Amino acid sequence: MHPDLSSSRNFGGQFCSYIPGKDYRSLPYLTADFDYDLPDERIAQEPVTPRDSCKLLVLDRATGQTHHTLFTRIIDHLNPEDLLIVNDTRVLPARLMMRKANTHGAVEVLLLEQIEAIDPRTELWKCLVRPGKSARVGSALEFVGSDDLALAGCIRGVIAEGTRI
């Protein structure tokens, strides 16, 4: 079992940990709850063909055991009363490698959602910033990359779960 599945977290007096066979109700999770190390060589660069031949990780909730199968076998793991929700959203390719203007420390910015287009050259975005603790309100950021592309940003606020504006 993945070590993170057996970890506990305190949610305002409520503790959440994986217990085989337990029914879980909705609890407030943080985006940091889903952080894990994934080596670059393990990240798919192209979708598999055919698409439904991708891997499927199955968790047996009664035993806590996991095993791998193919997505084409998903029907083997569903009961008649189960609800399957399909996420067909597209990923916005908006991961930017930036640096803090004052210290040149590396900062990774993942743009999540455009909040406002202030003018043709200025946009306000909701984003995740790593490392987040060093990206404080007022931090000026510069794009690291092509000399002919000028891109700069400023952390204007911190909202729920550490998301930056």
Peptide bond into 120 cis (omega under 30): no
Instruction: Write b or e for each residue in 18-39: b if 16 or more Cβ atoms lie within 10 A of its Cβ, otherwise e.
Output: beeeeeeeeeeeeeeeeeeeee
The model's pTM is 0.47
β-pairing verdict for 140-143 and 122-130: unpaired
Structure confidence by residue, pLDDT tens digits, 30-83:
666 777 788 888 888 888 899 889 999 998 878 888 899 999 999 999 988 888
Whole-angstrom CA distances from 44 to 55, 118, 143 are 12, 36, 25
* Burial class, 110, CB count within 10 angstroms (exposed 0-12 / middle 13-18 / buried 19+): middle
pLDDT score, position 127: 87
Per-residue pLDDT, 27: 55
